[in-house]
Structure 1
């Protein structure tokens, strides 16, 4: 996974994460991509990561929160990054672009904000391009024997879904890290 940010803006630059912020409400992200349901995937990944890490308690109701995390999915796209000499696709890159804001509920104030954060994940598109010993493959849902049984279309769809899940998990991990550890 590759993460690159365009235009990070930290309103508390150089300061520690606010000690009085202990609970967070995660608003459903606005989804401006063509990938229906992506906002739910992001919310689930964020809630799971925040629960695992434990530094901030995720609450279900806005009025219980010290802070509100919101965001906009600007894009979720896939593009070809490698082809063979017969112009057959070997690899795709999935890219997620988001804007994120953490604001204090009361009084309403922006604590942290980023625009155009871009995360990418490369995945195979044909049996010949799959490396079954790679960490990405091993962390997915396929076994090496599945690769031989699937058509390239079935394999690409499965690997695309695995890449999407890795992007969501990586996004949640990176966001939590930026908020809590590198505020």
Structure 2
């Protein structure tokens, strides 16, 4: 009798949890804010920074993300149903780690944080209705500037470029997943 009551309670509990589910699903899945959307365009982002080619880098990474993962086709603007429009609002560098040189009471910066802020939206091409928008999407990456014992400005520059490429790919993945999750 106790076993039978336990089975009933278990069955009712399972049914309750199934009915009360919050709609959880994996990120990057779903139809996005406009079900049935098949063709999107991602032109070069506007670049309000002094970083050369940043607009092309970030738009290219987002195109690759949709082509690699999505069911939507990336097409020219004339053939698209919706258009992603992006603006690189800021790129800033914050020194976070230093190495003290006691001989001359000087410090070398050895690590920086590279911050990128985007204004990204997806707009229905016909109605110009905004389907999805994040006006202040910010992400950062820590990178090594110099070896304090043997400073090399070239390797510091290359590390910054690697961090910028990493951010373009990581932010594109997050934009893709949030767009399809309608979040």
Measured in 2, the distance between the counterparts of 1:16 and 1:82 equals: 41
Q: Distance in 2 between matches of 1:66 and 1:114?
A: 20
Distance of aligned partners of 1:124 and 1:164 in 2 relative to their CA distance in 1, 3 Å threshold: same
* Residue equivalent to 2:126: 106
Please say if 1:77 is aligned against 2:97: no
- Structure number with higher relative contact order (C-alpha < 8 Å, ≥ 6 residues apart): 1
Q: CA RMSD in A?
A: 2.0
Runs of 4+ in 1 over 4 A off after TM superposition: none
Which TM-score applies when normalising by structure 1?
0.74
Report the TM-score, using the length of structure 2 for normalisation: 0.74
Count of residue pairs brought into register by the alignment? 148
Q: CA deviation at 1:108?
A: 2.0
User: C-alpha displacement at 1:121, in angstroms?
Assistant: 0.5
Per-residue deviation, 1:30: 0.9
How many Å separate the matches in 2 of 1:28 and 1:157? 24
SS of the residue 1:164 aligns to: helix
Deviation at 1:151, TM superposition (A): 5.0
What is the distance in 1 between the residues matched to 2:128 and 2:162?
Answer: 38
- 2:49 alignment partner, SS class: coil
Unpaired runs of 5+ residues, structure 2, are 1-30, 102-106
Q: Which runs of 5+ in 1 are unaligned?
A: 1-14, 130-149
> Do the aligned residues in 2 keep the contact of 1:55 with 1:180 (CA within 8 Å)?
no
